[in-house]
Amino acid sequence: MKAPLAPKRPKPIPTPLHLEDDWKWLDEIENPDTKKYLKAENSFYKDSMKAHSALQKEIFEELKERLAENDSSVPERDGEYWYYVRFKEGQQYPLYCRKKDNLDAAEEIYFDHNVIAKKHSYCDIGFLDVSPNHKILAYAVDLEGSERYKVIFRDLATGKETDLKIDGISSCFEWKTNSSFFYIKLDDHDRPLELYFRDFSKKKSVLVYSEKDPSYFLALDSSESEEYIFLGCNGYDANEVWYHKIAEESPEFHCFLSREAEHEYELSHHDHNFLIISNHEAVNYQIFKTPVDKIDIKNWQPIQDYDPEVLIEGLSVFKNFWIISERYKALPRLKIIPLAVDQDPYWIDVPEEAYELNVAEGREYASEGFRFWYSSPRMPQSLYEFDVKSKQRSFLKRRSIGSRPYSEDDYVVKRVWAPARDGQSIPVTLLYHKTTKPGAPMILHSYGSYGETLDCDYSNYRLALVDRGMIYAMAHIRGGMEMGRSWYLEGKLDRKWNTFNDYIDSADYLIREGWTKSGQIIGEGSSAGGMLMGVVANERPDLFLGIVASVPFVDVLNTMLDPELPLTTLEYKEWGNPNIPEDYERIKSYSPYENVKAQDYPHMLVVAGLHDQRVLYWEAAKWVAKLRDRKTNDKILLLKIEDESGHSGASGRYDSLRETAEELTFMIMLKDKHLKA
């Protein structure tokens, strides 16, 4: 087949800037020409990859072998029940199970995701939450990938669902009592802006809070003590938290501390105090406590002082100890704070150069210990039980090894530091097979936005690449928070170019040091990481053998000029407001769609979701159309539109593996062709 070409149809963009866009018509999903073009792109993709169907099948079966098809989580106690999740071989979705009193009791499957999903090609469960008395299940379902959920209630004694169903909500939900709850409703632009309370005995929900600023989104959480529910009003560089005492009859919330520019904080509860993680005069955050009846900031007492080299990422609160999740020199660590007077704080020891470490959710508040997950790029996620007083850990479970032979000793994990052009040092994590020689083809993955940390955990799909002689590299560039919150601040707004330069400088360093060679890197990124791929493909196409960009945020300028899209106004603090001239010029300087050039481009695979509400499908479609019009070589350019999913791809585990296998096939195909050339 010949590659489809979308015709230019200049169309004005409704802004005071009087701009035109040659491919704006592709955002008209009901336009027959749009449907025809998207169908043609999918047909061209399938035809182009047909010759590699055997490799795709091989990789899918390999990924499937690495999956523990009959798998179960370690049971967690909640009141008189033990709860766990398990999978059965051949089934796409999990079974949610429990046993009463002890683990020898009969199993009760209280929710079978497969039953809900069997008539649908996509089925995501946003949350499952059992009432405090364990008698009613609330679950939220999305059947198209739009992240717009319907909450449904089930009587667990009879297995029957009630007549009450609430549509158009977010994935945030909290029980107040056994017969009442809070939920957050989405507006017409899919923004979570309204908090509601509902009692089963009432015919209507009650509006509790309405957010007037569309750049602040609402989220719900409950305290580990189960005494409070917290409502977060979250912007990108500021927030405020409202609290509700569950024991109070009224559903009213109270503001803890009003939002202030550039002040971010989180709230927890312990005994008679609120605990606060705050960046007030502390860019990497510090921790305070204050009595619940004296919440004014003048009463805050520091319990973890500010350290400019240590980022505080979270606080887990138990009755007799606290756990501070920290990040130091781009690596996580857990600091244990025993509340007994005869024990000093201490950290959990870990062995690898690069790894992931986090507290497992779900333990009872009064427990004397906790569980944590540990993994590295060569070690599958392992769950440990840790006794705080004795400091003893016990191994509970290793996740997702499957039936395929595997030894962690066959792989090497390295942490190197790439010099950036402005003197900063960028941490880069490498994974490769012990038989792989330097100079091999490389996957260079990165993200670099929103303060998101690129975790050094284990992933089955990476092994399919490194087992075939490739090096898998992760560049922890600015825009993330691997090196602290300042690392994030140095990669946003007027310093956004640091993100792109860090990636390019990391690639140049890895080439210079002999880890790989110029022209044999495959860049990989999704969402804002897909934007990164678009920028570096425009700036340094010579570095790359190929690019894989999933749900890529590549039409940054036009998206940020449209305040009707769900995330636009919220993200002014991340990218800037292009209605301001200097912000407009800065965004235009890097927006991938705006900067497509008449030049040679590497091989490219672009993937989008038709129902994606975070990055709409037309960003990828317009980008590919413009690339086809401008690029000066005949290297592969493929667009795949997933027409039954959204931002996160397929919902079923086997369908997800098939999507992954397709992307891996493209990468391995490029590597094999390159080495044969």
List residues with catalytic annotation: 527, 612, 647
Sheet holding 471-475, edge to edge: 411-419, 425-433, 471-475, 442-445, 521-526, 544-550, 603-609, 637-642
Backbone angles phi, psi at 241, to 5 degrees: -120, 135
Helix (H) or strand (E) holding 499: helix 497-512
Angle of CA points 364, 367, 372, to nearest 5°: 80
DSSP letter for each residue of 533-580: HHHHHHH-GGGEEEEEEES----HHHHHT-TTSTTTGGGHHHH--TTS
Backbone angles phi, psi at 579, to 5 degrees: -75, -10
Distance CA 176, CA 194 (A): 17
Backbone angles phi, psi at 465, to 5 degrees: -85, -50
Per-residue CA distances from 421 to 386, 474, 483, 511, 543 (Å)? 43, 19, 17, 15, 17
CA 422 to chain centre: 29
Backbone angles phi, psi at 624, to 5 degrees: -65, -40
Per-residue CA distances from 339 to 272, 321, 345 (Å)? 14, 5, 9
Q: How buried is 518 (Cβ within 10 angstroms: 0-12 exposed, 13-18 middle, 19+ buried)?
A: middle
State whether residue 125 is helix, strand or coil: strand
CA 455 to chain centre: 11
Q: Which residues contact 460 (CB under 8 A, 6 or more apart)?
A: 63, 66, 67, 400, 402
Beta-strand relationship, 149-155 and 254-257: unpaired
Q: What is the dihedral of CA 143, 144, 149, 151, to 10 degrees?
A: -10
Which long-range contacts link 33-41 to residues 24+ away (Cβ below 8 Å)? 34/621, 37/4, 37/6, 37/621, 37/625, 38/610, 38/617, 38/621, 38/641, 38/643, 40/4, 41/4, 41/621, 41/624, 41/638, 41/639, 41/640, 41/641
DSSP letter for each residue of 358-391: EEPS---TT-SEEEEEEEETTEEEEEEEEETTT-
State whether residue 304 is helix, strand or coil: strand
Backbone angles phi, psi at 600, to 5 degrees: -75, 140
Q: What is the DSSP letter of 658?
A: H
Q: What tokens were used for 601?
A: 């481009």
DSSP letter for each residue of 305-368: ---TTEEEEEEEE-SSEEEEEEEETTEEEEEEEE-STT---EE-----SS-EEEEPS---TT-S
Residues in the chain: 677
Q: What tokens were used for 617?
A: 């499908």
Q: Which residues contact 297 (CB under 8 A, 6 or more apart)?
A: 257, 280
State whether residue 298 is helix, strand or coil: helix
Q: How many CB atoms lie within 10 A of CB 22?
A: 16
Distance CA 635, CA 633 (A): 6
